[in-house]
Amino acid sequence: MSASSEEALYFVVGDEYSGDRLDKVLAQLMPSVSRARLQTWIEQGAVTVNGEVTEKIRTKVAAGDEIEVLEQPSPEELAFKPVQMPLDVIYEDDDILVVNKPAGLVVHPAAGHWDDTLLNGLLARNPELKTLPRAGIVHRLDRDTTGLMVVAKTLEAQTDLIRQLQARTVKREYWAIVHGQAPQAGFIDEPIMRDPRSPIRFCVGQGPRAKEAKTHVRLVDFAYVPGVGQTPLSVSWVACRLDTGRTHQIRVHMQWAGFPLVGDPLYKGKMSKLPEGCPLSLIKRQALHASRLGLEHPRTKELMQWFVPAPDDLAQLMTEIGFAPTDEPVSVFENR
């Protein structure tokens, strides 16, 4: 039999459960909660047996034992929790804000990152965003990709920005440092799908789940860096513009084209080992930065554009290679 209060659930162990494991008994008494989640609650100290906290899921219970369970919020329930964190907001008005995302910051809550994401930081800074889907976020950057993102502050602005993204009128320009000598200009129109060999990678493919992906690429600069022995390594600074916004799109397309991003842990191709002292080893993430963002203001319809220079780690890499200056709004897409 059981009874409940606002804070806890109480159970008395019946004869049919005598001698069974605590987690197994609770799974029978609380069928709406997964056994794995109940085990976590036990290990967190949220369960008592006869008034004593037990953190061992294999604890045996006897008939007549009194169990108290303090229900714990799920990670998903914590996902929309406001969490104070420094955010580099470079523009804000009543309708939108534009943030310069640092490396290491996940955009949306997910397994392993339920309450330390950009979404959590936005909710702490702008509590009104809790009424919007995904707290007003309309596009994303990979965890270790830096740069510009626009966030809506009203439902009307969010709807308009999503329509602009669907119409491919939002200008998203990225700087990437890639292995090899890239051509002056290129256009990659290759569908992207989840890599069947890896749950965390994507690849160019033609499967039924492949999605259209289009990337415009322009060469900004080219250089050689010290390689093994007397053989130098070629490296290019390219600018990329997206017509579509698939997960890992630039990283996958550039690897497919033979120019994997420097420092990319997932799509490094044949460039996994660099000679000692090579400047390309300075960066510990993919060398990718969302440098420019252009869009039509959702309310005023004014054409707006922002630029942020490369962050310190990428700027240091570019300086060591000889790509400079990196603090000016270089663009090779002015005619598009």
CATH of residue 92's domain is: 3.30.2350.10
Please confirm whether the linkage preceding 298 is cis (ω < 30° from 0). Answer: no
Going by pLDDT thresholds of 50, 70 and 90, the confidence category of residue 76 is low
Q: Which of 17, 40, 72 is the last residue of a domain?
A: 72
Establish how many alpha carbons lie within 13 A of residue 248's alpha carbon, considering only the half-sphere containing its beta carbon.
22
Instruction: Tell whether 128 and 204 lie within a shared domain.
Output: no
Q: Give the total number of structural domains in the chain.
A: 3
47 has which bridge partners? Answer: 69
Tell me: the pLDDT tens digits for 173-223? 999 999 999 999 999 999 999 998 988 899 999 988 899 999 999 999 999
Backbone angles phi, psi at 67, to 5 degrees: -115, 130
Choosing from 142, 144, 160, 264, the catalytic residue is: 142
Instruction: Tell whether 189 and 96 lie within a shared domain.
Output: no
Q: Is 5 exposed, middle or buried (0-12, 13-18, 19+ CB in 10 A)?
A: exposed
Catalytic residue list contains 144: no
Instruction: Tell whether 142 and 188 lie within a shared domain.
Output: no
- Determine the pLDDT at residue 336: 45
Tell me: the pLDDT tens digits for 81-95? 899 999 999 999 999
> What is the pTM for the complete model shown?
0.77
- Amino acid identity at 110: A
Alpha carbon distance 188, 175 (integer Å)? 16
> Strand, coil or helix: what is 81?
coil
Alpha carbon distance 236, 251 (integer Å)? 14
- Determine the pLDDT at residue 205: 93
Q: Structural domain of residue 294, as residue ranges?
A: 168-336
Please give the residue that has the higher pLDDT: either 38 or 114: 38
Q: How far is CA 331 from CA 20, 164, 172, 327, 328, in A?
A: 68, 21, 11, 12, 9
- Which of 170, 177, 201, 205 has its CA nearest to residue 191? 205
Long-range CB pairs of 128-131 (<8 Å, 24+ gap) are: 128/153, 129/153, 130/80, 130/82, 131/155
Tell me: the pLDDT tens digits for 6-27? 468 999 999 999 999 999 999 9
Instruction: Tell whether 325 and 296 lie within a shared domain.
Output: yes
Which residues does 206 contact at the CB level (< 8 Å), separation at least 6?
191
- Determine the pLDDT at residue 326: 74
Question: Any idea what the CATH number is for the domain that residue 25 is in?
Answer: 3.10.290.10
